[in-house]
């Protein structure tokens, strides 16, 4: 199963949530591989730093992280399609690259974090609209992320508009614990913050 | 990691890595550039003075950059699908006025400007862009 974390907008939490989600799935005994397609390679460098800082006491790697360029995706698409392992793909925050098309088309589910600000919302709407044009049946799950207060002026409008393209989960609040990331495990505190939303994604996408 | 996960990882790496291996091999095979020998200065009467090209290096670079964006826009089908004609015009005017680094940033600017100028509701805009493809 290919679970793609994407949005045209950068900085909405795609990478952080993809790491947390991978850790969460592994903790539930599921098999996971992480494919990183963002040229920044934040996930690979997070793993690298962890291994450098603590070379002897780390547990075995819970999943492998593979970096590849978007343009290389077609070469591995068949392998990814034919496996029952959960493949989590972290996309770069852009929409101006035609190489995104096969990745979005092959995704079993697209997880799209966003924030309740105007720019993030417009970018998210555009991303969703494009994705639905590529495949009207594509399942998109929107996560309101880094939420600071409960009542946003635009909240209802945003949910209604994005509801045309997919389902909107409960929000994930802006907490320091979510930012302290490890590619080896998820903490209890992190699980308390993201667990409900992740359980929803797992149930919706039948992982 | 269990066996089938390791197998998949190995399969993926064997598909993705040959490139890297090829490149290393290619680099290794490339003949080394000969060591530079110290050039002897030409006699004064054989030196031809060339005046530096006037200004436009910067302008030319900008034109190349903008042409690149035009080219990218042509190839990005989904940008065309989403952007309505009037939105595209705003996009082009921003492209001329601002020096921004990527098409997606331009797209963001264009969408923002469009909303400001037309004071339409966001919902309407999304509905419209979903219904129509105009370029």
> Taking the CA atoms of chain A, what radius of gyration do you get in angstroms?
16
Pick among B126, B129, B134 to test the A interface (most A CBs inside 10 A): B126
Torsion angles phi and psi, residue B85, rounded to 5: -60, -45
The answer on pLDDT for B1 being more than 60 is: yes
Instruction: Record the tokens describing residue A165, joined without a space.
Output: 């393209």
Residue A114, min C-alpha distance to chain B (Å): 15
Residue of A nearest to B84 (CA): A126
Distance CA(B25)–CA(B28), nearest Å, equals: 5
Distance CA(A126)–CA(B36), nearest Å, equals: 54
Average pLDDT, chain B: 56
Give A-chain residues touching B126 at CB under 8 angstroms.
125, 129, 161, 164
Q: Do A76 and B16 touch (CB under 8 A)?
A: yes
Q: What is the mean pLDDT of residues B84-100?
A: 56
- Closest Cα to residue A24, out of A166, A205, A179, A201? A201
Interface of A with B in 67-106 (CB under 8 A): 68, 72, 75-76, 79-80, 83, 85, 93-98, 101
- Judge contact between A112 and A127, C-beta under 8 A: yes
The answer on pLDDT for A106 being more than 70 is: yes
Q: Among partner residues B8, B16, B78, which is closest to A130 by beta-carbon distance?
A: B78
Pick among B128, B130, B132, B134 to test the A interface (most A CBs inside 10 A): B130
Please say whether the dihedral angle defined by the alpha carbons of residues A195, A201, A204 and A207, taken in this order, is positive or negative: negative
Q: What is the mean pLDDT of residues B2-16?
A: 88
Distance CA(A161)–CA(A168), nearest Å, equals: 10
Helices B103-118 and B85-97: angle between axes, nearest 10 degrees:
120
CA of residue A87 relative to chain centroid, distance: 11
Distance CA(A195)–CA(A199), nearest Å, equals: 6
pLDDT in tens, B27-71: 445 545 555 555 555 555 555 454 444 444 555 555 554 555 555
Q: Do A85 and B103 touch (CB under 8 A)?
A: no
Q: Do B8 and A83 touch (CB under 8 A)?
A: yes
Residue A31, min C-alpha distance to chain B (Å): 7
Pairing between β-strand A109-114 and β-strand A140-144 as defined by DSSP bridges:
parallel
CA of residue A105 relative to chain centroid, distance: 16
Helix (H, G, I), strand (E, B) or coil at A74: helix
Whole-number pLDDT of residue B120: 46
DSSP B115-129: HHHH---HHHHHHHH
Instruction: Record the tokens describing residue B70, joined without a space.
Output: 């035009």
Residue B98, min C-alpha distance to chain A (Å): 18
Distance CA(A126)–CA(B103), nearest Å, equals: 14
C-alpha distances (whole Å) from B2 to each of A33, A41, B60 are 11, 25, 56
Q: Do B102 and A8 touch (CB under 8 A)?
A: no
- Closest Cα to residue A91, out of B92, B104, B127, B25? B104
pLDDT in tens, A9-66: 888 999 999 999 999 999 999 999 999 999 889 999 999 999 988 888 888 899 999 9
Distance CA(B42)–CA(A34), nearest Å, equals: 61
B16 touches chain A (CB under 8 A): yes
Q: What is the ipTM of this complex?
A: 0.84
Whole-number pLDDT of residue A33: 97
Pick among A73, A122, A136 to test the B interface (most B CBs inside 10 A): A122
Dihedral angle over CA of A152, A90, A63, A58, nearest 10: -70
Torsion angles phi and psi, residue A39, rounded to 5: -60, -20
Q: Do A122 and B115 touch (CB under 8 A)?
A: yes
Whole-number pLDDT of residue A69: 92
Kindly provide the residue ranges of all beta strands, DSSP E only, lying in B3-125, ordered along the sequence.
none
Residue of B nearest to A86 (CA): B5
């Amino acid at each position: 199963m290919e679970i793609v974390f994407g949005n045209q907008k950068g900085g909405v939490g795609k990478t952080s949530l993809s790491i947390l989600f991978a850790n969460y799935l592994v903790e539930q005994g599921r098999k996971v591989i992480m494919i990183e397609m963002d040229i920044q390679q934040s996930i690979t460098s997070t793993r690298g730093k962890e291994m450098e800082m603590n070379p002897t006491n780390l547990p075995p790697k819970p999943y492998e992280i593979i970096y590849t360029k978007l343009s290389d995706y077609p070469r591995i698409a068949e392998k990814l399609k034919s496996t029952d392992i959960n493949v989590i793909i972290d996309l770069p925050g852009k929409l101006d690259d035609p190489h995104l098309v096969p990745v979005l088309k092959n995704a079993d589910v697209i997880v799209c974090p966003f924030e309740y600000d105007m720019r993030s919302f417009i970018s998210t709407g555009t991303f969703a609209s494009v994705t639905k044009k590529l495949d009207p049946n594509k399942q998109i799950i929107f996560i309101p992320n880094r939420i600071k207060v409960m009542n946003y002026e635009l909240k209802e409008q945003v949910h209604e508009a994005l509801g045309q393209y997919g389902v909107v989960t409960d929000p994930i609040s802006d907490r320091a614990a979510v930012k302290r990331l490890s590619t080896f495990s998820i903490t209890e505190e992190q699980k308390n913050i993201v667990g409900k939303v992740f359980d929803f994604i797992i149930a919706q996408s039948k992982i | 990691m269990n066996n089938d996960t390791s197998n998949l990882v190995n399969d993926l790496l064997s598909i993705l890595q040959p490139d890297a291996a090829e490149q290393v091999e290619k680099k290794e095979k490339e003949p080394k550039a000969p060591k530079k020998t110290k050039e002897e200065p030409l006699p004064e009467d054989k030196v031809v003075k060339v005046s530096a090209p006037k200004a436009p290096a910067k302008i030319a670079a900008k034109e190349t950059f903008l042409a690149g964006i035009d080219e990218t826009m042509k190839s990005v089908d989904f940008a065309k699908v989403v952007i309505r004609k009037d939105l595209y015009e705003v996009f082009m005017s921003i492209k001329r006025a601002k020096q921004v680094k990527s098409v997606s940033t331009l797209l963001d600017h264009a969408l923002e400007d469009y909303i400001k100028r037309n004071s339409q509701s966001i919902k309407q805009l999304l509905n419209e862009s979903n219904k129509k493809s105009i370029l």
